[in-house]
Structure 1
Amino acid sequence: MTSRLWTAVGLSAALLLAGCTSTPVDERPVEEGPAGSVPAVCDHVRPGPAEAPAGAVTVDPAVDGDLTDKTMANPPGTTFWLAPGTHTLTTDLYGQVIPKDGNTYLGAPGAVLDGQGRNLFAFTQPASHVTIRHLTIQGFAAPHNQGVVNHDSGDDWVIEHNTIQYNDGAGMMAGARQRIRGNCLRENGQYGINAFSAGNTITGLVVEGNEIVGNNTDDWETQRPGCGCTGGVKFWAVDGADVRGNWVHDNRGPGLWGDINNNDFLIEHNLIEHNDGAAIVYEASYNAIIRDNTIRGNNMVEGRMFAGRGDPFPAATIYVSESGGEPRIPARTDRIEIHGNLLENNWSGITAWENADRFCNSPANPSGDCTLLAETGECAQPGIAEQPHYDDCRWKTQRLDVHHNRFVLDPTVVECSNSLCTRMAVLANYGTFPNWSPYTGDVVQEAVTFGQDNRWHHNEYSGPWTFMAYDTSGVLTQTKWQSEPYRQDEGSTFVVQEAG
């Protein structure tokens, strides 16, 4: 990784690239990641207490189901200390732990909770203020889209310094105000984290200092093409999330994926590298700050898939899809701010995309969800053609501000001989259906490219970067990208000009 700093990015980005971190000294993991700025947690998780704390109930690994039985027998607020060894939950499919409010589960060094490939879930039901620390949790057989820890998305859980690995489904689900810190989330069948709570909005989520690696071992996108159900972490309807200081790497699919009606995200100081898909996808969502991350070697598998089938779509490393800043929805910003990041030798850069055919009540929106500004029933003819429904019934890629980032691309490293791996883009498709849609034709292409305040400026480029705007019909040179009518990347520098 280059050590060169550029003066305009601000102090926090400089500290990141210099190997500094905002994590307090007493919270540092045992080892650091390869950039010196994020924790290498896996195989170095902070150990738990070697003896049972005063007042704690000791759980015996030699007694099958002892953790379940003692949880049931003790009152809310009890602390349980799992002694060294492998703990099991009987051979029943539904052998599980059902915490009570305020329970704490602490693992001694060497304490493993093993689902034996039989139990579906480890910790279930919606108790609140549950704490789980210093455990290895593995071998559970959660179904597709379900999770092993906090299966029912209880609120105010604290999940710290655990190794959650080799499970089917997701390593964990998430509830409101959940704190996920210092964990190794490794090689789970679908996700490391599935931040989803059925019928609810998750507020105040913190994902900090974790190593999230090798997830989606079951390759769900191959099993269910187009499912959009893979990667390191998936966020659904999360309002307020801090995702900082994580090492997100080598996941099959995207690294971090916010999908449908997320809002108020802060994604900062992460090292995101070598994920098969995009480093970050922010889709059908609102108001986010993506800053001071190191992002490298991502999207090689999925980018090559697009190129291999001759698809000109600019598959991106940061993919902003039908997402934008919205001042009417409260957040720390009213924009999508992407700044102070280093993107180094990924497959392409940032794509800002809006699907003209995807809106509330459209066949291209099969989930049935609507925006945060409208109700599905309002988004039908004739009312959808009039304000405010014309604007509020679609997720808009708007108020995107891409600035003071450094984009480095060496085609010999990426192993790409054409411009398919070198693109920045802001574009939409030509609207075609349904026939009553007010967004047919080029109205969304015009809006996303010229009318919705999407701006690149004051970035630094190194390499043969190319650009795409409006649609996929052609590739723009740097000069055309900066000139009328696009007028992008004012104040930016280009170390290597494009050929020709």
Structure 2
Amino acid sequence: MPTAPPAAAAAALGPTGPSTAKPCKGTVIAVGVDPQPVIDTAPEGATFCFAKGVHRLTKPIRPRTGDTLAGEPGAILSGAVRLTGWQRTGNAWAVRGVLPAPYPLKGQCEDNQANPCRLGEQLFADGKHLTRVMSLAQVRPGAFYGDYRSNTVYVGDDPTGHALEMSRTQTAIDKSADDVTVTGLTIERFASRPQAGALQVGRGWTVTANEVRWNHAVGIMVIEGDNTELSRNTVADNGQLGIGQYKSAGVKITANLVTRNNTDGFWIADWESGGIKSTRSSGEVRDNDIVANRGIGMWSDIAEYDRRITGNRIRDNAADGIRYEISYAGVIDQNVVERNGFGTGRGSGGSLWDGGGINVNTSSDVEVRGNLIRDNRNALSIQSRTRGDGPRGTYVLRNVLVEGNLVVMTDAASTLGVVENKRSPVQPGAVTFRRNSYQVAGGKERFAFRGRTMSWSQWQESGFDKDSVNS
């Protein structure tokens, strides 16, 4: 029996963020100056250098075609306002007149009763992100409550001598033109709405060497942004999702650090929370470090096509490391996928329906090859469900190849296999496992097919991994 080839390890990620940006040479925008008139009076395709310091924006910047928005070292675009005039109110402190008018809410939260994640305004005390509660009675140290009807914000700690800020502006930079470059900036504390970004990216943009952090919903959102490139950004601690992509072909997301996103309690198991999510798009996600996000690490969902997820380090995410769902023509290769799937909450458990390391859900023409899949809640879940039709035909589990992976299952509860619902049975030949190498510790029945848990020999007798090894 031939030995499966070893899975290639993803290369270490180099430096990311504004420190890696090139020096800015262009029109300087000083702190306190409204940037839009400066931009509007310059020729298209100009370079603008935001000076060191905090630039507080009250409305989105709208660049023109070919413009470059860059930062000098230490330049910060902030969507927050300082809160002053606090007054003691019982066991809390209050400030009035700072919230926007009530607005339509959307999004699914881990707490689907109070739904705190739907509200966009965040509060920070001396730079520390406070926890939102949903009634005045719940206010405690480290928490805040926003009463939108009375336009009052309450905190549980005495604000005297401390700097309190509230995110209020929704967007830092809007996708108002094509071929824009954004580099060397820190973009923080914007009250972005669910599924929207603090940085809204359009067609042909280059977004490189920025830090995008502590925004309420999505850090960087690519919308109808064909041929955009995102590289060497640090995208951390955003409330819902690090990077989003929607209806955008040929996008390259490379060498970014995407970490600790979903700070504001969006639904971990199944609502666009975590590291990166792409929908109805194509392109590559390569050489990124996607780590410790409270949701899915990398999620391709709904009519993705010609997608390649390669050479990433995807570890310690609360839900699946990689999920490829109701999509077409994907390659998942040469990734290191470790310790994912241990932090899911409502609507999720430990079965193969819940994924873990890599989850291929009702998709066709997908290759999973040359990955190191190690110590995830479940190693690899191939799912066949009834999911309807898409632009390239019915969503169906078909022509899935799992080849040349190194799969390590140390946890005795970890499993690997193929699951199906009654209306979508797996067709013969739809899934092929070959030339894989397994290291399985403890327990005899670690594989599953057609509702049965199986030993290694039974798994092979079912037609899978006949030329693979298990030690």
Asked if 1:210 is matched to 2:253, the reply is no
Residue 59, structure 1, aligned to residue 29, structure 2 = yes
The answer to whether the 8 Å contact 1:268/1:292 transfers is yes
The match for 1:229 is 272
Which residue number in structure 2 is paired with residue 73 of structure 1?
A: 41
Alignment correspondent of 1:466: 446
From 353, 359, 383, the equivalent of 2:383 is 353
What SS does structure 2 have at the residue aligned with 1:69?
helix
* Cα distance in 1 between the residues matched to 2:384 and 2:325: 10
2:340 matched to which residue of 1? 298
What displacement does 1:461 show? Answer: 0.7
Written as runs of structure 1 = structure 2, the 5 A alignment for 1:100-499 is 100-116=64-80, 117-150=167-200, 153-174=201-222, 175-196=225-246, 201-221=247-267, 228-239=271-282, 241-302=283-344, 306-307=348-349, 313=353, 315-325=355-365, 336-356=366-386, 358-360=387-389, 371-373=390-392, 392=393, 394-411=394-411, 421-431=413-423, 444-447=424-427, 450-452=428-430, 454-464=431-441, 466-471=446-451, 474-483=452-461, 486-495=462-471
- Are residues 178 and 324 of structure 1, via their aligned partners in 2, closer, same or farther at CA, if it must alter by over 3 Å? same
Preserved contact between residue 353 and residue 419 of structure 2 (Cα < 8 Å): no
Post-superposition Cα deviations, 1:294-346, rounded to whole Å, max 9, x if no partner, equal 111111112997447xx674633111111111xxxxxxxxxx11111111111
Q: CA shift at 1:476, angstroms?
A: 1.0
Deviation of 1:177 (Å): 0.7
Distance in 2 of aligned mates of 1:346 and 1:41: 27
AA in 1 matched with 2:447: F
Question: Which AA in structure 2 matches 1:217?
Answer: T
Amino acid at match of 1:466: R
What does the per-residue CA deviation read over 1:202-252, in whole Å, with 9 as the maximum and x for residues that have no partner?
111000000000111112117xxx75221111101113x111110000000
**What TM-score, normalized by structure 2, do the two folds share?**
0.76
Count of aligned positions? 379
Structure 1 counterpart of 2:54: 86
How far does residue 73 in structure 1 lie from its aligned partner after superposition?
2.2
Conserved in 1, the CA contact under 8 Å of 2:5 and 2:435? no
Greater fraction of residues in strand: 2
Structure 2: any 5+ residue segments left out of the alignment?
81-166
- Which has the bigger relative contact order, CA under 8 A and spacing at least 6? 2
CA 108–288 in structure 1, closer or farther in 2 if over 3 Å, else same: same
CA contact (8 A) 1:41 1:184 kept: yes
d(CA) in 2 for partners of 1:105, 1:312:
45
CA separation of 1:258/1:184 partners in 2, compared to 1, >3 Å: closer, same or farther? same
Structure whose residues are more often helix by fraction:
1
After superposition, give the CA deviation of every residue in 1:391-443 in whole Å (9 maximum; x if it has no partner).
Answer: x4x301111111111111222xxxxx5xxx32111121112xxxxxxxxxxxx
Distance 2:189 2:448 in 1: 46
SS for the counterpart of 2:249 is: strand
* Matched AA of 1:182: R
Aligned equivalents of 1:303, 1:489: Cα separation in 2: 33
**Identical-residue share of aligned pairs (%):** 28
Question: SS of the residue aligned with 1:263?
Answer: coil
Amino acid at match of 1:478: W
CA contact (8 A) 1:235 1:257 kept: yes
Residue 257 of structure 1 aligns to a residue whose secondary structure is: strand
Instruction: Give yes or no for contact 2:379–2:409 (8 Å, CA) kept in 1.
Output: no
Could you tell me which residue of structure 1 aligns to residue 20 of structure 2? 46
**3-state DSSP class of the match of 1:425?**
strand
Contact 1:277 1:303 in 2 (8 A): no
Aligned residues of 1:314 and 1:425 also touching (Cα < 8 A): no
C-alpha separation in 2, matches of 1:350 and 1:227: 18
The DSSP-based 3-state class of the residue aligned with 2:182 is: strand
Residue number in structure 2 paired with 1:329: none
Give the secondary-structure state (helix, strand or coil) at the position aligned to 1:351: strand
TM-score normalized by structure 1? Answer: 0.72
Give the superposed CA RMSD. Answer: 2.2
Correspondence for 1:99 among 60, 63, 68: 63
List alignment gaps of at least 5 residues for structure 1: 1-5, 22-36, 326-335, 361-370, 374-391, 412-416, 432-443, 496-500
